[in-house]
Amino acid sequence: MRIGLVASLAWQDYRNDGWLSACSVLALVAVIAPLLVLFGLKFGLVSSLTERLETDPASREIIPLGGGRFSAAFIAQLGERSDVAFAVPRTRQIAATAQVGTLTLEMLPTAAGDPLLAGLPMPHGLDQIVLSHTAAEKLAARPGDWLETSFARQVAGRVEAQRTRLQVLAVLPLEAFAREGLFADLALLEAAEDYRDGRAVPALGWAGEAASVSEQRIYPAFRLYARSLSDVEPLRVYFAEQNLLVSTQAHTIAQVQSLSRNLSIVFWIIAGLALAGAFAAIFAGTLAAVARKHRELSVLRLLGFSTAALLLFVLLQALYSAGFAAVLSVGLYGLAEAALNKLFVQVPGEYASHLLARHYGLALVAVLGVSAVAAACGGWRVARIQASEGIRDV
């Protein structure tokens, strides 16, 4: 079978029927372009929501509710779990405050791997901190500044305070932590708690009762972040089995995942109906083309073209229409995508409508596949064409 000759003849005939060919292309565009826009909206919306959750560490944070009693060893074991990205003990909240001038700052422990401090220098020891954005604004503090910080306690009805100087290593972005606070090594929070409990802090020269060497420190809470969004719910279940009530963003994550599933169902229902309609249109168009070109095809049969060659002739014309329709649909989708993103996107890096290169490839394969199958089904009538039918037209 001379494939090149068949392709050339099919193309010449396709061009000669320009108006009919254009109509078949536009009919396919009317199906493909809306599907691309619909899938682009679905993928862009879900991707933006998912990316927003993934890039926000707060969505992976697991907060213990109520007062607990956790040992350092237990929290260390949590940090070693494969589904935990970060875990560090927390001291009592009432003792985890620092006074800088007239501003009271919340103190939070941090350590290597803290998602909130990603890309920022890590404070170590008793004299380094990272400030939140709001705290830095109110204190007019910048990285490298030293802050005179006081820690107060009440003993026998009188207020006592100790001071120390803390160096600001960095300032957190506002979106990372919106409250007025500072992040420091756990040792600084333990020192503040010890001082407020009346114990001595030799490292800072703060007087008080000597701590028992054998006494094991118990923490009421911890800071913990799941490794991924899919790990949040299993961790919630794990803590529930430990009779520990925690607060998570599992409900929000589940809503986004449910939205993705529901939109996928809607899309595939619409896509299935649309592709079925396109299949029927191509099938009917091929039947009509075979009937309309019966004389020309019979002449080709007389010239020695086999049934397979005649079927390829019809199939190639359907593929020409599918190819042009795919290119035109992608162009129209590109215009729609740009307009939708310009109208509805307000956050850089997010999309209202977006498709990846693989989506275009899958769409092209689907269009060509449906067109080829429909044309092959409708084109089987060429097998009935006899060479004798073309003799009178020679």
* 106-120 pLDDT, tens digit each: 999 999 999 999 889
86 — pLDDT class (breaks 50, 70, 90): very high
Q: What is the mean pLDDT of residues 29-55?
A: 86
Going by the DSSP 8-state scheme, the letter that residue 110 receives in this structure is E
Q: What one-character-per-residue DSSP string does 1-19 give?
A: --HHHHHHHHHHHHHHTHH
62 — pLDDT class (breaks 50, 70, 90): very high
Neighbours of 247 (CB within 10 A): 11
* 161-210 pLDDT, tens digit each: 889 999 999 999 998 898 999 999 999 999 999 888 888 888 888 877 77
Query: Cβ-count burial of 214 within 10 angstroms (0-12 exposed, 13-18 middle, 19+ buried)?
Result: exposed
150 — pLDDT class (breaks 50, 70, 90): very high
Beta bridge partners of 185: 110
Q: Which of 389, 300, 394 is nearest to 9 (CA)?
A: 300
Residue with structure tokens 């001379």? Answer: 2
Going by the DSSP 8-state scheme, the letter that residue 259 receives in this structure is H
Rounded to two decimals, the pTM is 0.73
Q: What is residue 75's predicted lDDT score, i.e. its pLDDT?
A: 92
As a whole number of angstroms, the distance between CA 300 and CA 309 comes to 9
In contact, 75 and 222? CB cutoff 8 Å: yes
Q: What is residue 180's predicted lDDT score, i.e. its pLDDT?
A: 93
Residue 212 CB partners (closer than 8 Å, separation 6+): none
As a whole number of angstroms, the distance between CA 317 and CA 323 comes to 10
Residue 141 CB partners (closer than 8 Å, separation 6+): 131, 135, 147, 168, 171
Helix (H, G, I), strand (E, B) or coil at 298: helix
As a whole number of angstroms, the distance between CA 189 and CA 204 comes to 12
Q: Where are the domains of the chain?
A: 3-54+254-393, 66-244
Q: What is the mean pLDDT of residues 310-338?
A: 87
As a whole number of angstroms, the distance between CA 85 and CA 77 comes to 12
What's the mean pLDDT when you consider all of the chain? 85
Neighbours of 216 (CB within 10 A): 8
Q: Which tokens sit at 63?
A: 């907060």
Q: What is residue 1's predicted lDDT score, i.e. its pLDDT?
A: 52
